[in-house]
Amino acid sequence: MEETVIIVGGGQGGFSTASRLREIGFRGRVTIVGEEEHLPYQRPPLSKAYLLGQTDVGRLSLRPRDYFDKLGIDLALGKRALRLDRGQSNVELADGSILSYDKLVLATGSRARTLPDELSQALSGIFVLRSVSDAEHLRLALASQSRRVLVVGAGFVGLEVAAIGSQMGHSVTVVELSSRVLNRVACEATANAIQALHRNHGVVVKTGTKVDRLHSHYGAVTGAQLSDGSFVHAEIVVVGIGGIANDELAADAGLQTASGIVVDQCGRTSDPNIFALGDCAVFPFEGRLVRIESVQNACDQGAAVADVIGGSTASYAPVPWFWSDQYDAKLQTVGLACDYDKVITLHGSREGSAANWYFRNGRAIAVDTINDPRTHMSTRRLFGAGQSVSIEAVAAEGFDAAIEARRHQHAGAPAQQ
Partner 1 sequence: MSSNRNDNMIEITVTDSGGITRTLNARDGESLMEAVTRARLPGILAECGGACACATCHVYIGPAWLELVGKADPMEADMLDFADDVRENSRLSCQITIPKT
Residue type, 168: M
Question: Among residues 10, 11, 44, 335, which is the contact residue for partner 1, using CB under 8 A?
Answer: 44
Q: Is 408 in the site for partner 1 (CB under 8 A)?
A: no
Q: Is 372 in the site for partner 1 (CB under 8 A)?
A: yes
Can you give 252-287 as a three-state secondary structure string? HCCCCECCCEECCCCCECCCCCEEECHHHEEEEECC
**Whether 191 contacts 205, CB under 8 Å:** no
What is the closest distance, in whole angstroms, from the C-beta atom of residue 247 to partner 1 in the complex? 25
Long-range contacts formed by 130-136: CB under 8 A, 24+ apart: 130/43, 130/46, 130/243, 131/36, 131/43, 131/46, 132/36, 132/38, 132/41, 132/46, 132/50, 132/57, 132/60, 133/36, 134/46, 135/46, 135/47, 135/50, 135/51
Q: Is 130 in the site for partner 1 (CB under 8 A)?
A: no
All residues at 6 or more sequence positions from 216 whose CB lies less than 8 Å from its CB, including other chains: 121, 123, 222
**Whether 323 contacts 296, CB under 8 Å:** no
Pairing of strands 281-285, 288-290: antiparallel
CA angle 92, 94, 95 (to 5 degrees): 100
Question: Among residues 4, 31, 42, 227, which is the contact residue for partner 1, using CB under 8 A?
Answer: 42
CA angle 79, 139, 199 (to 5 degrees): 125
User: How distant is the alpha carbon of residue 92 from its chain centre?
Assistant: 28
Give 204 or 377: the residue with its C-beta nearer to partner 1. 377
Site string for partner 1, 1-40 (x = CB under 8 A): ----------------------------------------
Q: Is 184 in the site for partner 1 (CB under 8 A)?
A: no
Give 195 or 297: the residue with its C-beta nearer to partner 1. 297
Give 13 or 125: the residue with its C-beta nearer to partner 1. 13
Neighbours of 3 (CB within 10 A): 16
Question: Among residues 3, 373, 399, 408, which is the contact residue for partner 1, using CB under 8 A?
Answer: 373
Q: Is 378 in the site for partner 1 (CB under 8 A)?
A: yes
145/154 Cα distance (integer angstroms): 24
Site string for partner 1, 281-310 (x = CB under 8 A): --------------xx--x-----------
What is the closest distance, in whole angstroms, from the C-beta atom of residue 294 to partner 1 in the complex? 10
30/26 Cα distance (integer angstroms): 9
The residue count for binding partner 1 (CB under 8 A) is 31
Q: Is 347 in the site for partner 1 (CB under 8 A)?
A: no
What is the closest distance, in whole angstroms, from the C-beta atom of residue 295 to partner 1 in the complex? 6
Q: Is 371 in the site for partner 1 (CB under 8 A)?
A: yes
Q: Is 368 in the site for partner 1 (CB under 8 A)?
A: no
Q: Is 380 in the site for partner 1 (CB under 8 A)?
A: yes
The 3-state DSSP composition of the chain as helix, strand, coil percent (nearest 5) reads 30, 30, 40
* Strand spans (E) along 352-397: 354-360, 363-370
Give 166 or 297: the residue with its C-beta nearer to partner 1. 297
Question: Among residues 37, 53, 64, 254, which is the contact residue for partner 1, using CB under 8 A?
Answer: 64
Site string for partner 1, 319-338 (x = CB under 8 A): --x-x-x----x-x------
- Interface segment toward partner 1; rule CB under 8 A; list 84-92, 100-108, 161-169, 375-383: 375-383
Neighbours of 384 (CB within 10 A): 14
Residues near partner 1, by CB under 8 A: 42, 44-45, 48, 59-60, 62-64, 67, 70, 295-296, 299, 321, 323, 325, 330, 332, 350, 371-374, 376-378, 380-381, 402, 405
